[in-house]
């Protein structure tokens, strides 16, 4: 066996030793995130409606943002025996009519828009609530895909839903385009943080608008969000034109330098020719 392979075999155990701490960490709490709470441990081992929430929640936007069982349901996530005691703030599972308040503890603006809407006013009388549209445990990042023929026609026709969707869609496209333009600026070394911040806040205000389910209010709100976005678009256009003027001057400088180079070559050549002629004489 050559020496190269012997030393390679010797490194193997070493690599294994180096990997040990990482493997141990994996055992404790999973690759990402903190150790499991008692809620996850006990419910994770149960079947049916008591066990399902754990798997659904694993892939949710809430899990991604560190919102766990006890953040919604209350209770003590560290004590097996007392976990679901009302003394430890356990709230249980909300009834249908309580859900907007339950979710609205954290999503205050959405809750207010919703309660004020035709949907909110029909709560408990056939109107949809948060979970009807977003689900309870498998909540995903919100998008216009939630407004679709299948989900919105359970209770009424799609006509009004389609108008709201259309009003929102044009703004959605605008936001996408701006985000792409901002990325392009970032790639050529422009500081884009303030621009990004403006688009981000306009985007949040805009995504909330839906809950009014009021075509007129969506149009009004869309107008002010669009005005915000137009300002960002104007600033991007300015930066681009500054960049292209810089490029133009860069181009002109290169051409001038080339011309100067050619001229000096020509001059040198005539000079040398004259010298040669002089020497010939
Ligand atoms: C030792 C096991 C165990 C632990 C720990 C535990 N649960 Fe439960 N949980 C149960 C069982 C069993 C039920 C069904 C019987 C009942 O409602 O008491 C239940 C029911 C529930 C319900 C439904 C209640 C309802 O009104 O229908 C919720 C919500 C819930 N648990 C959340 C939690 C949360 C949040 C935690 C952690 C703070 C937690 N559980 C910890 C075993 C557990
Ligand atoms: C974003 C808030 C939220 C989080 C996080 C959350 N739940 Fe729930 N959970 C709810 C809501 C809302 C309901 C009532 C749902 C309904 O009526 O559709 C509910 C219902 C339940 C129920 C009763 C199910 C039934 O069919 O009776 C159990 C059990 C439960 N949750 C356990 C958990 C466990 C365990 C976790 C953590 C893995 C968890 N929940 C995380 C919001 C949440
Ligand atoms: C009729 C269906 C429906 C109901 C009811 C509903 N939503 Fe939404 N929600 C949507 C749609 C559709 C969007 C995405 C709109 C968009 O992309 O412009 C959304 C967006 C969101 C967002 C992201 C926007 C933001 O401001 O961060 C949150 C959070 C949210 N909903 C929470 C809730 C809560 C909490 C409730 C109950 C109070 C609720 N939703 C009720 C359909 C619904
Ligand atoms: C304890 C606080 C808390 C509760 C209660 C809560 N959420 Fe959230 N929710 C968050 C946080 C934090 C995020 C991630 C940050 C963000 O995007 O707003 C989030 C994100 C979301 C999003 C994605 C927002 C987006 O930008 O697309 C939706 C939709 C949502 N929650 C719906 C719900 C629903 C429905 C309920 C009730 C079943 C609920 N939330 C209960 C804290 C909470
Ligand atoms: C669980 C039943 C239910 C579901 C699901 C539902 N709606 Fe509604 N919707 C209602 C009720 C009830 C009203 C109020 C009575 C009416 O105007 O028909 C309403 C009214 C509306 C209105 C009219 C508001 C106004 O100012 O006149 C719009 C727009 C609307 N819904 C859009 C949607 C969209 C978009 C979805 C799907 C994301 C949806 N709805 C899903 C029950 C529902």
Q: Cα(59) to centroid of ligand 1, in Å?
A: 20
Give the ranges where 188-214 is alpha helix by DSSP (H): 193-209
| Nearest ligand atom owner, CA of 53 | 2
For the whole prediction, is pTM greater than 0.85? no
How many CA atoms, within 13 angstroms, populate the side-chain half-sphere of residue 151? 12
pLDDT at 254: 85
Q: Which two tokens stand for residue 114?
A: 């919703």
pLDDT grade for 281, boundaries at 50, 70 and 90: low
Q: Atom 38, ligand 5: which residue's CA is nearest?
A: 147
pLDDT at 5: 46
Q: What is the DSSP string of 264-277?
A: HHHHHHHHHHHHHH
State whether the Cα torsion 154-157-158-160 is positive or negative.
negative
92 touches ligand 1 (CB under 6 Å)? yes
Range 175-202 average pLDDT: 91
Ligand 2 atom showing the smallest separation from residue 58 Cα: 38
CB < 8 Å & 24+ apart, contacts of 6-10: none
| Nearest ligand atom owner, CA of 143 | 3
Q: Atom 14, ligand 5: which residue's CA is nearest?
A: 118
pLDDT grade for 244, boundaries at 50, 70 and 90: confident
| pLDDT tens column, 114-164 | 999 999 999 999 999 999 999 999 999 998 999 999 999 999 999 989 988
| Nearest ligand atom owner, CA of 56 | 2
Give the ranges where 48-148 is alpha helix by DSSP (H): 48-58, 61-64, 69-73, 99-104, 108-115, 118-121, 130-134
DSSP state at residue 173: H
pLDDT at 32: 54
d(CA 210, CA 113): 9
Range 50-75 average pLDDT: 97
**Rg of the chain over all Cα atoms, to the nearest angstrom:** 32
Q: Cα(140) to centroid of ligand 5, in Å?
A: 21
Q: Is the pLDDT of residue 70 over 90?
A: yes
d(CA 281, CA 276): 9
d(CA 183, CA 189): 10
* Residue that wins the pLDDT comparison between 81 and 270: 81
Q: Is the pLDDT of residue 230 over 60?
A: yes
Domain residue ranges of the chain, discontinuous segments joined by + = 145-245
Q: Is the pLDDT of residue 29 over 60?
A: no
Q: Contact at 8 Å (CB) between 155 and 126?
A: yes
Q: Which two tokens stand for residue 15?
A: 């690599």
SS3 content of the chain, % helix, strand, coil (to 5): 75, 0, 25
Q: Which two tokens stand for residue 229?
A: 């976005």
| pLDDT tens column, 82-115 | 999 999 999 999 999 999 999 999 999 999 999 9
Ligand 4 atom showing the smallest separation from residue 204 Cα: 26
* Residue that wins the pLDDT comparison between 114 and 168: 114
Q: Is 60 left (phi over 0), alpha (psi -120 to 50) or beta?
A: beta
Q: Which two tokens stand for residue 56?
A: 């659904």
Ligand 2 atom showing the smallest separation from residue 94 Cα: 14
pLDDT grade for 33, boundaries at 50, 70 and 90: low
100 touches ligand 5 (CB under 6 Å)? no
Q: Cα(102) to centroid of ligand 1, in Å?
A: 17
pLDDT grade for 277, boundaries at 50, 70 and 90: confident
83 touches ligand 1 (CB under 6 Å)? yes
211 touches ligand 5 (CB under 6 Å)? no
Which of 72, 210, 214 is the best mutation target for the ligand 3 pocket, counting ligand atoms within 8 Å of the beta carbon and taking the most?
A: 210
């Amino acid at each position: 066996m050559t020496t190269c392979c012997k030393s390679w075999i010797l490194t193997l155990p070493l690599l294994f030793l180096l990997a040990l701490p990482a493997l141990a960490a994996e055992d404790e709490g999973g690759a990402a995130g903190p150790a499991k709470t008692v809620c996850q441990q006990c419910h994770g081992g149960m079947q049916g409606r008591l066990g399902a929430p754990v798997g659904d929640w694993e892939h949710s936007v809430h899990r991604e943002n560190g919102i766990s069982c006890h953040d919604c349901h209350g209770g003590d996530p560290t004590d097996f025996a007392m976990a679901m005691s009302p003394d430890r703030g356990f709230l249980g599972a909300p009834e249908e009519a309580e859900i907007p308040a339950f979710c609205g503890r954290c999503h205050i603006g959405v809750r207010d828009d919703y309660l004020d809407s035709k949907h909110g006013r029909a709560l408990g009388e056939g109107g949809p609530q948060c979970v009807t549209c977003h689900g309870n445990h498998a909540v995903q990042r919100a998008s216009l895909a939630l407004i679709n023929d299948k989900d919105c026609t359970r209770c009424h026709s799609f006509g009004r839903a389609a108008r709201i969707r259309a009003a929102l869609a044009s703004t959605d496209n605008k936001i996408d385009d701006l985000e792409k333009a901002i990325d392009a600026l970032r790639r050529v070394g422009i500081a884009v943080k303030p621009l990004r911040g403006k688009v981000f806040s306009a985007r949040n205000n805009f995504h909330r608008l839906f809950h009014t389910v009021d075509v007129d209010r969506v149009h009004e709100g869309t107008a002010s969000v669009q005005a915000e976005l137009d300002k960002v678009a104007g600033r991007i256009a300015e930066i681009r034109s500054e960049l292209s003027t810089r490029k133009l001057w860069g181009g002109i400088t290169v051409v001038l330098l080339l011309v100067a180079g050619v001229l000096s070559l020509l001059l040198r050549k005539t000079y040398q020719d004259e010298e040669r002629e002089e020497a010939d004489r």
